[in-house]
């Protein structure tokens, strides 16, 4: 199994669920994490990543960490200072149309969105609301482009897009697609030589579907146009994702693997969870399992079954612990002498 991993946690792209998978694997295999110094939950985002942002990094004793997975703005020469040269680099992408709809709800407080009553209003005259010089502009335009380290307001010439795609391909071993999450996890499992149980998950940091808005065709086209760089990244790597599946796994085996993954997740849900799955924040009984609520989004969580044996309880709890609580617990474990 591969234990040296860089995960670029792109915003609003099922990345909290992937992070939980990495947290669980790291915890059970006693691996070290490149935590934000001081135990925060982002690596001084939205600044480009610097090695000095990592707790315990020192240029004099270049300690390498196994897993780098907290939010950052990618800058490979600095990342290489804190992880092994053999680390596997991967990320996950999301259709920019759904990404923008999600960002508008989740980052409603961002300067570009705060005065717009709806996404439609924002897109009808974006430059009325959007200021390219504001420090939080990236939430409102080409968010994936920004997270990968590029300029979200850059021009969209064919040459520049090609340069950007080539740079991403040169840095990353694997790009997953959140719309095909189960297929992505099978591909991740194969790439990292992990077993099935290491990539099972319950969806984390997800919104109540009642807070999601339906988008007209006209709005969809406006979103693609406004996020043209993200659209180019997504369509290119969606294509290479399927090419890779055909080449390395094949359709039939992929279907069998996805089936096995879903059956295992259903079995774990029956073992671990009360009721049928995720519940509204007000219905989560254990306060330590309540996810952070943000913007106008309602973030769902889980209730564990009562009376589980100790080992099962621990396994189930790891699966449903929200990102901030899990990160904090792992930080305390790795740096017992420091208080986050």
Q: Using CA atoms, how far apart are residues 146 and 21, in angstroms rounded to an integer? A: 24
Residue 196 Cα distances to 192, 235, 259, 307, angstroms: 11, 28, 11, 26
What percent of the chain has pLDDT above 70? 98
With 90 as the cut, is the pLDDT of residue 210 above it?
no
pLDDT at res. 339: 64
Helix boundaries (H) for the chain: 15-28, 76-79, 96-106, 111-114, 119-124, 126-129, 143-147, 158-171, 181-192, 196-199, 217-226, 228-248, 251-272, 310-320, 323-334
User: 206: pLDDT confidence band, cut at 50, 70 and 90?
Assistant: confident
CATH number of the domain located at residue range(s) 5-334 in this protein = 3.40.50
pLDDT, tens only, 32-88: 999 999 988 999 999 999 999 999 999 998 789 999 999 999 999 999 999 999 999
User: 293: pLDDT confidence band, cut at 50, 70 and 90?
Assistant: confident
pLDDT, tens only, 96-152: 999 999 999 999 999 999 999 999 999 999 999 999 999 999 999 999 999 999 999
Q: Using CA atoms, how far apart are residues 226 and 159, in angstroms rounded to an integer? A: 19
For the chain, give the mean pLDDT.
95
Cis peptide bond upstream of 46, omega within 30: yes
322 in Cβ contact with 289 (< 8 Å): yes
pLDDT at res. 133: 96
What percent of the chain has pLDDT above 90? 89
- Contacts of residue 15, defined as CB under 8 A and 6 or more positions apart, other chains included, come to 7, 9, 92
Spatial strand order in the sheet of 67-68: 67-68, 5-8, 88-93, 174-177
With 70 as the cut, is the pLDDT of residue 241 above it?
yes
Domain boundaries, given as residue ranges, for the chain: 5-334
- Phi-psi category of 44—alpha, beta or left, where left has phi over 0 and alpha has psi -120 to 50? left
Tell me which residue has tokens 């095909």: 180
Largest CA distance in the chain: 60
With 60 as the cut, is the pLDDT of residue 164 above it?
yes
With 80 as the cut, is the pLDDT of residue 333 above it?
yes
Dump the DSSP string for 93-134. E--HHHHHHHHHHHTTTSHHHHT-SSHHHHHHSHHHH--TTS
């Amino acid at each position: 199994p591969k234990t040296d991993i860089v995960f670029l946690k792109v915003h609003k792209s099922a990345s909290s669920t992937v992070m939980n998978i990495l947290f669980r694997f790291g915890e059970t295999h006693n691996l070290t994490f490149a935590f934000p110094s001081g135990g925060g939950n982002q690596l001084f985002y939205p600044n480009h990543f610097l090695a000095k942002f990592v707790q315990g990094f020192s240029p004099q004793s270049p300690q390498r960490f196994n897993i780098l997975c907290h939010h950052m703005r990618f800058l490979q020469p600095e990342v290489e200072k804190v992880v092994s040269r053999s680390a596997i680099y991967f990320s996950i992408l999301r259709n920019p149309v759904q990404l923008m709809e999600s960002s508008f709800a989740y980052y409603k407080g961002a300067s570009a969105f705060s005065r717009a009553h709806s996404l439609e209003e924002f897109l009808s005259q974006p430059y009325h609301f959007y200021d390219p010089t504001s420090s939080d502009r990236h939430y409102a335009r080409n968010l994936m482009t920004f997270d990968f380290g590029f300029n979200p307001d850059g021009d969209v010439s064919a040459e520049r897009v090609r340069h950007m795609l080539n740079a991403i391909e040169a840095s990353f071993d694997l790009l997953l697609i959140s719309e095909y999450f189960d297929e992505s996890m099978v591909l991740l499992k194969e790439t990292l030589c992990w077993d099935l149980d290491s990539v099972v998950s319950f969806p984390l940091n997800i919104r109540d579907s009642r807070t999601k808005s339906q988008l007209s065709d006209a709005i969809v086209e406006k979103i693609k146009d406004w996020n043209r760089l993200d659209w180019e990244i997504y369509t290119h790597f969606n294509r290479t994702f399927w090419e890779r599946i055909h080449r390395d796994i094949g359709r039939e085996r992929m279907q069998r693997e996805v089936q096995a993954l879903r059956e295992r997740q259903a079995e774990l849900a029956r073992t671990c969870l009360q009721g049928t799955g995720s519940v509204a924040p007000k219905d989560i009984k254990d306060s330590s399992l309540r996810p952070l609520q943000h913007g106008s989004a309602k973030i769902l969580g889980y209730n564990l079954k009562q009376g589980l044996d100790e080992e099962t309880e621990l396994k189930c709890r790891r699966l449903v612990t929200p990102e901030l609580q899990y990160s904090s617990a792992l930080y305390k474990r790795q740096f017992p002498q420091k208080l986050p």
